[in-house]
Amino acid sequence: MFKIISGKKQIDLNNITIKHDKDVSPDLIQDLYLSVGWQYRDIQDIRGSLDNSVLVTTAWDEEKLIGIARATGDGIFSVTIWDVAVKPIYQKQGVGKLILKSMLTKLDDCGIPLITLYVEWAKKDFYSKLGFETNINKVVGMYRYKNEPFRDKRNRRNE
């Protein structure tokens, strides 16, 4: 039973089921990703990302997939959390926090000493409340997209 309030589904978190299982339909995940405004991803690529994940944590409202997070890495020294998403109608009600707390507990139980993630700057406060920090004196997150050219400073000509 639920009420719709201002475009959000008012939920009881006790009725949300959290699962740690890679066996999730890529079509359901695609639907979730599209609902939060992410670009279309090939279904086989989604399946591959699940298969290559150390841990996949999902949230369910009965039979509906409403949230996901996945972790990749070596599963011993470090993992990185990716693709944290919650269907818009369920956002701002603790579902994302429920997913991440469950995932972090599972990863902590495995003894993994370092857990990292990349987030949009505007969402960093949410993750800070879960124990994540930014500190440029310790770690700097960097990235390189596939089609960006490799820049080797050793081979640069004097400009």
Which sequence positions are flagged as catalytic? 127
* Residue 118 buriedness (CB in 10 A; 0-12 / 13-18 / 19+): exposed
Tokens at residue 126, please?
Answer: 């949410």
Distance, in Å, from the CA atom of 16 to the CA atom of 104, rounded to the nearest integer, reads 17
Distance, in Å, from the CA atom of 73 to the CA atom of 114, rounded to the nearest integer, reads 10
Amino acid identity at 118: Y
DSSP 28-47: HHHHHHHHTTPPP--HHHHH
Distance, in Å, from the CA atom of 105 to the CA atom of 111, rounded to the nearest integer, reads 10
